[in-house]
Amino acid sequence: MILSDFDLKAYLSSKRLKIEPLDPLIIRENGLDLRLGEQYCELRSTDQILDPYIEWDPEKFYKCEKANEYVLMPGRKYLLHTLEYIALPPELVGIVELRSTLARLGLLIPPTVVDGGFEGQLTIEVHSSSFPVKLKAGTRFLHLILMKTTTPIERPYEGRYQRQRDVMLPKRPLEYP
């Protein structure tokens, strides 16, 4: 069941769903429009092999900065984060989509699931357009659709990205197996 604006307001009033800062304008008909934070990280183009199973230097593969506005250059990939810090109760699961206007500018994000029990700012990978696109911090850029599970989740999310703030680079090293 997808939560409506009525359901979202009830969850927020009961404090089962937490969003900080909460601007009532982000509550939409069937989800929440999350805004863009200030930090961004560009994935560097390099021939150096990244072995995620050992400790590695993120500065060789990512260029991170903070700014109120920035330009996404054509054909590149970026990590961006939400301004909002969210805390989902265990019975809610989220799906994140790029807002339609930004998708129409040629920006893309991979399918992203927000697990029940997740808490933190979201880090999202964005594939840029075929032309430069300027973005400003505070812009509504993601639509988070929340759904209620049919049965309780046995183990709410407590993974490596719990309580993340700003852009969270991949945790090192990658766990195997």
Catalytic residue ranges:
125
| Helix (H) or strand (E) segment spanning residue 101 | helix 100-103
- Identify each DSSP E strand in the chain by its residue range: 18-20, 27-28, 31-43, 62-66, 69-72, 77-87, 92-98, 112-114, 119-127, 133-136, 140-148
Half-sphere exposure in the Cβ direction for 82 (13 Å, CA): 30
DSSP per-residue letters across 35-59 = EEEEEEEEEPP-SSPP-TTS---GG
The span from the CA of 16 to the CA of 98, in Å, is 25
